[in-house]
Structures are given as structure tokens and as C-alpha cells.
Amino acid sequence: MAGKSKEETVFFCTECGYESRKWMGQCPSCRSWSTFSEEPVTRIRASGRQGGSSAARAAAEIMPVRMDDISTEPEERISTGFDEFSRVLGGGIVPGSLILVGGDPGVGKSTLLLQTAAKVAEKHSVIYISGEESLKQIRLRARRIGEMGEDLRFVAETDIDRIISMLEKEKPDLCVIDSIQTMSTADSQSVPGSVSQVRECSQRMMICAKQNNIATFLVGHVTKEGTVAGPRVLEHIVDTVLYFESGEQFGYRVLRSAKNRFGSTNEIGVFEMSGEGLKEVLNPSEYLLEGRFKNATGAVVTCLIEGSRAMLMEVQGLAADTQYGIARRQANGMDYNRMVMLLAVLQKRAGVNIGQMDVYVNIAGGMKITQPSADLAVILAVMSSLRNVPVPEDTVVFGEVGLSGEVRSVPQASDRIREAERLGFRRVIMPAVSLKGMERPRQIETIGISFISEMFALL
Ligand code: TYD
Ligand code: MG
């Protein structure tokens, strides 16, 4: 190609895309170790800052518009066919938006998007582009899942420029690129999956999506080896970033949003992998409480608010005499520092001596809690294990705990009570302040407490 300078190489962090002239052991931007990989860079590419083929760039004439001429009518969103998925997106797919779906290989990204594509194809035109599987393999997968809309079409291709010309001609409402790491453009010298290829291809897809109003899903594998660029490299390019995670041994999958230009990032969607593809779990509380031991010590049910939904889950605590002099603490599914802080409050404010105890806290079902409203349940779970007395199984506990041992209010208390009531619990222990001015529910007893030790009377 004319005008191309001699080949140079640059080092990229495969985690976050940080660029450096020399190799580094640790990335100064995202702090990951051994993630730098060397890639050839041709200046001709680097100068095309906004990406896209030059033909596409020339075609996109710039036209300033007046504020009054900008339409403010809400665009009609496309339903994904899964309530769980649509809610995570903020109410469906926004036309022309670019959505990254990241996750470990094998978690079910292709299955989720194939099912979604099939559903959307009932009313819209959809093209599913796979760089990973042959048409035959997709067909086999589709057969497992069941019915496909007639208008769902497939392409097996990895050249992004050919894909874009096809999309510009076909102008579907929705397309799926599975996966972005298999795509490449001949304008970049790097191998498919490298940081520069992944970035370049995504930028081209972004332009294609916006100019032709094609809602686009990009699948991105989360990688461990650090030779293939991970989805974080493109988080800033796309409109929405979703991560599909699995509690491997638990059989269910959680879809979370890490960034969303068109909705909240608090929502989560829960799915279950079955023999016929993914099924949504509309009642996660029931699901998460399944298989609970009756009268187990150290187990407490708490209620969290995930986005617009209240969710019950079990917090488990274990306190045992330490064997090796130094007490061990371990937190699974919650922040370690938060746990240590709560144990210190328990020790200092309630006079419970746990200095010589190993303490383990676990959130059952592999869920992660990030909200302080589970504090009270964590403390009660540890106490229950310490005293070897079970917490009554019909009790739900929630509330934030402060450094003085005081129980602080939590948002949406009545939603949490309602969820506990719906699942047949009889009693809620919660912050006394949250009860003020609240209409008392009839079916369920509410006990307001202001200090942590007040709840130990229960044991
Ligand atoms: P897949 O969607 O290929 O994962 P990804 O695209 O994220 O790499 O699905 C992964 C797993 O799901 C695979 O191990 C097979 C399993 N699976 C089922 O259990 N049931 C099904 O109906 C389908 C299609 C897949
Ligand atoms: Mg796949």
C-alpha cells in the first residue's frame, strides 16, 4: 500500500488497551501483570483516527444541525424476547446502538444472542455473523434451541470490511458479531484478536451501526492468557457493556451491565442453561434459596435490591477456633475489607471476642453482594455460628451497620419486606429508622432494631 511507512511495533496491554513504546511487566493504567503483547502498527492506520474505510469516511459528509431540528421522540426499542435481558438493557435494544457482551468462553454468549436474534427476527430483519462457527455448527445449535424466525439470516465470515459492505447493502435492524476477537481488517498488520485489530474492527462497527441505524451486538471473550485482547479494551468505544457470568457449579448465569448509555447499570438478569438453550429465571429469590438446610447454624437470609428488583439470598458465616495462632478471615462473594470491619465492630461494640477465631463468610449460590444492607445479616450469621444456635428459618435480616455498632437505614425497605412476605417468611429484622412512618405489613412481623446486639436475643 502506498504511503505506508516501515513497519513498527508497539506494545499493548491486552487487558485495557494501554499503549507503550517498550515492554512493561505491569500495566501503569490497569495494574495487571504480564499483559503486554507486541503488535505491528502501520502509520497509515494510526492516522485514520476515527477508523472506518476511507470510502465510508468520505461518504459521511458533516452537516451541522440546529437544536430545534433534533428529534426528541423516544426511539422505539426492540424487545429481546427475554424480560431479563430487556430489563438489563434498560427496556430493550436501542436501534443503532453498539452493545458489547463479554464473558468467559462457554458461558453461553452465543446461545443467548442466537436465541435473542431468533426472537427479534420474528418482527425485524436480523443477521447473525459468526467468525467462530461454520454455518452447519450454527444450524446444529439452532436446532437444540428450537424455533427460529424465518427472517433470521446467517453469515460465516471474519473480514470486517466485507461484513460492513454487506451490512450497508442489507441494512438489517439488528446484527450480531460473534466474536469481535475473530474479526480482522486487512488495513492492520496485526493478527486477529490483537488489541489493534479488536479496536479497529469495533470502531468500524460503531460507525457502521450509527450510520445505518443497525443495532449491533459484539461478543467479546474474556481471556486469561493475555495474548488475545479482552473486552475491556473496547469498553469506551461501545454504548453498552454487558457481562455474562456464571457461577460454574451453580448452573445459573447472571447478565450484568457495566456501562449503559441508555439505562441504569444496576439491573441484573438471571438465566439458567438447559438442554434447549437458556431459560430466564424470573424468580431469582426462590432459585437462590433452593436447597437451604433447615435449622443450620450460621445461615441467614437477607434481602438486597438489584436494580428495580428485591432479591433474597443466603449469607453464611462460620467461626471456628484458630489452629495456627493467626486467625484467618475469608470472604466469598463480599468485600474482604467490609467483612473485617464488621468483625471489628462486633468485637469492640458488642464485646464478642473473635480475635482467636477463624471467620469465613460466604454468599450462597456464588452471588456477589456489594451493598452495605447485608451487614446485619453477615454479623448475625457469624454470631449464630459462634454460639452454635440457628437463626429461625422464617426470618429475613437486612440493615447497614456503622462503626459504632448502630443499625442504619437502607433504601427501599418496603420492597424488601414485600419480597420476604411473598416467599412466605414470617419475620423481618431491620433498622428501626426504616420502619418510621412506614405502613406495617399485616402478614409479616417487623422488628426494628437500632443497635447490633439487640438482635442477638433471637439466638
Ligand atoms: P456457548 O453459547 O457456545 O458459549 P460461548 O459463546 O459463551 O462460548 O454455550 C456454551 C455451553 O452451553 C456449551 O458448553 C454447551 C451448553 N449448551 C447447553 O447446555 N444447552 C444448549 O441448548 C446449548 C445451545 C448449549
Ligand atoms: Mg460462542
Phi-psi region at 293: left, alpha or beta (left = phi > 0; alpha = psi -120 to 50): beta
- DSSP code of 319? E
pTM here?
A: 0.77
**Which atom of ligand 1 sits closest to the CA of residue 276?**
22
Q: What is the pLDDT of residue 3?
A: 45
CB contact at 8 A, 313 and 302: yes
- The whole-number pLDDT of residue 373 equals 95
Burial class (CB in 10 A: 0-12, 13-18, 19+), 433: middle
Q: Does the Cβ of 296 fall within 6 Å of ligand 1?
A: no
The Cα–Cα gap between 414 and 397 comes to 13
Cα gap 363→316, rounded to integer Å: 6
- 133 Cβ below 6 A of ligand 1: no
Pocket of ligand 1 contains residue 110 by CB under 6 Å: yes
Question: Are 322 and 425 contacting, i.e. CB atoms less than 8 angstroms apart?
Answer: no
Could you tell which of 110, 273, 279 is best to mutate to test the pocket of ligand 1, judged by most ligand atoms within 8 Å of the CB?
273
- Cα of 365 from ligand 1 centre, angstroms: 20
Distance CA 128, CA 145 (A): 15
Q: Ligand 1 pocket, 107 CB below 6 A?
A: yes
Cβ atoms of 193 and 182 within 8 Å: the answer is: yes
**Ramachandran angles phi, psi of 337, nearest 5°:** -65, -35
Cα separation, 98 vs 76, whole angstroms: 16
Say what angle helices 195-212 and 160-170 make with each other, to 10 degrees.
10
Spatial distance between the Cα atoms of 29 and 114, rounded to a whole number of angstroms: 35
Query: Measured in angstroms, how far is the CA atom of residue 455 from the centroid of ligand 1?
Result: 45
Bridge-based pairing state of the strands 400-401 and 395-397: unpaired
Q: Which helix (H) or strand (E) holds 365?
A: none
Mean pLDDT by 10 residues, the chain (459 residues): 60 87 90 86 50 62 83 83 91 93 90 92 92 89 77 91 94 93 89 88 94 94 70 87 75 85 84 88 80 85 86 92 88 94 94 92 85 95 94 93 95 91 91 88 89 86
Q: What are phi and psi of 219, to 5 degrees?
A: -90, 135
* Residue 104 CA, closest ligand 1 atom number: 7
For residue 143 the three cell numbers come to 436446532
Domains and CATH numbers, the chain: 4-58 (no CATH), 76-282 (3.40.50.300), 287-456 (3.30.230.10)
Hey, which residues does 40 pair with through a beta bridge? 9
Atom of ligand 1 nearest to the CA of 112: 2
> DSSP strand E in 141-230: where?
152-156, 174-178, 215-221
If you measure from the C-alpha of residue 272 to the centroid of ligand 1, how many angstroms do you get, rounded to a whole number?
A: 11
